[in-house]
Structure 1
Amino acid sequence: MDRPKLLGDVTALELRLSQVNDQHIAPITAFVERLRERMGPGAAIPFIDPWDGGIHAEVLFLLEAPGPKARNSGFVSMNNPDETAKNFFEICREAGLDRKKTIAWNTVPWYIGAGSKIRPANAADIAAGIQSLGELLQLLPKLKAIVLVGGKAQKAESHVRNVAPHLQVFASPHPSPLFVNRKPENRGILLRSWQDVRAFLLAS
């Protein structure tokens, strides 16, 4: 059963790994593997989750960079065992966004921390990381929108608009506990932002 933090379970994680070459995700898995090869063995680049929409996705959530849990699980996933992923899972559902129409990726696709502590992405990280986005977008023929999630991802807006001028671009807060728990109203701000994305998909 799909639920928050599911990938903290070893059996669930093994199942997810066995699905990375399913038909709807295989071209994207091949893209990740090419990127890993280009970046070298030191780059920890998680797979895109096969439980999301893969090549059938209509909306791409573009976040900052993989956190320690994504590095450990090997997936950019709303099922990762951390609070940000839990918020992502729950608010996506509350907004009425079917995960089979979504896909999640990072502005900086590789882990930029040391050990279990991630550092913030800087301008050089974003400039290097965003270069592969165009290659990913070519694999998403049904894509209608990109959501720039958080301030760091929003720094890549001009590049996103250049490589995908045909797509609607949204900006939203980040579902991290740092934002969601800071003020009682913040969760509602994030929810309404993603409800706007759903309304756009329904109208397009």
Structure 2
Amino acid sequence: MSQVNDAHMVTLTNFVHRLRERMGTQVVIPYINPWDGGIEAKVMFLLEAPGAKARNSGFVSMNNPDETAKNFFEISRESGIDRKQIVTWNTVPWYIGSDSKIRPANSSDISAGVGSLAELLELLPKLKAIVLVGGKAQKAEDHIRQTAPYLQIFKSPHPSPLFVNRKPENRLILLKHWQAVQLFLEDSALG
């Protein structure tokens, strides 16, 4: 928490505060992780919605104590993507579940959630790409193409344990997708 107002984070933290004000006290919207790139990020990983661990920690983070976060951390590291180049966010930025369990995002959740995405993208001046992680995030593709046509869009499976841990080859599929993102970042740094 002591780092949410660091120089690379303060505008993103203010964005979360504005979003919380608009949405009201009934929703829980975690902060963006200050251990990642903040406004210096070159790639956004856009997932579905914050899980219970993100709700509890207060951060959208690959450091949360759950299997999805663990897979995200390990596979992004294996792909060679420096976390200082990443910002992680959710298509639906608020927690959508009960006290014990998240529920899948529905179409109205996604429609409501992507409305704030344009504002966030404006705060990320170095962003070059966005990775739509999982089927629910991929439903935001048209919105992103209209809002930010300058971004390279990648699609990727979700690093959930249901996908990654079910079959060993699934981990390799995810790794290949994220290695393509790393290759794009390397190429765009050269050009």
Structure 1 length as normaliser, TM-score?
0.92
CA distance in 1, matches of 2:179, 2:100: 33
- The equivalent residue for 2:113 is 129
> Segments of 4+ in structure 1 off by > 2 A?
none
AA at the equivalent of 2:181: V
Pick aligned residue for 2:143 from 136, 156, 159: 159
Aligned equivalent of 1:79: 63
Give 1:52's match in structure 2, choosing from 36, 45, 54. Answer: 36
The superposition leaves residues 147-190 of structure 1 with CA deviations (integer Å, 9 ceiling, x where unpaired) of 00000000111001111100000000000000001211000000
Question: Counterpart amino acid of 1:87?
Answer: N
1:115 aligns with 2:99: yes
Look up the SS of the partner of 2:3 in the other structure. Answer: coil
RMSD: 0.4
Q: Which amino acid aligns with 2:114?
A: I
Corresponding residue number in structure 2 for 1:150: 134
Aligned residue in 2 for 1:10: none
Q: Report the residue type matching 1:36 in the other structure.
A: R
Task: Give the 5 Å matches for 1:26-65.
Answer: 26-65=10-49
How many residue pairs get matched? 188
CA drift of 1:125 comes to 0.2
TM-score (norm 2): 0.98
How many angstroms apart in 2 are the aligned matches of 1:178 and 1:35?
31
Q: Can you give the 5+ residue segments of structure 1 that lack an aligned partner in the other structure?
A: 1-16
The residue identity in structure 2 corresponding to 1:43 is V
CA distance in 2, matches of 1:176, 1:192: 16
CA distance in 2, matches of 1:158, 1:26: 29
Q: What letter corresponds to residue 66 of structure 2 in structure 1?
A: D
- Cα displacement (A) at 1:48: 0.1
How far apart are the structure 1 equivalents of 2:26 and 2:58?
14
Same amino acid, percent of matched pairs: 74
Q: Please give the alpha-carbon distance, in whole angstroms, between the structure 2 residues aligned to 1:168 and 1:68.
A: 30
- Distance in 2 of aligned mates of 1:196 and 1:172: 10
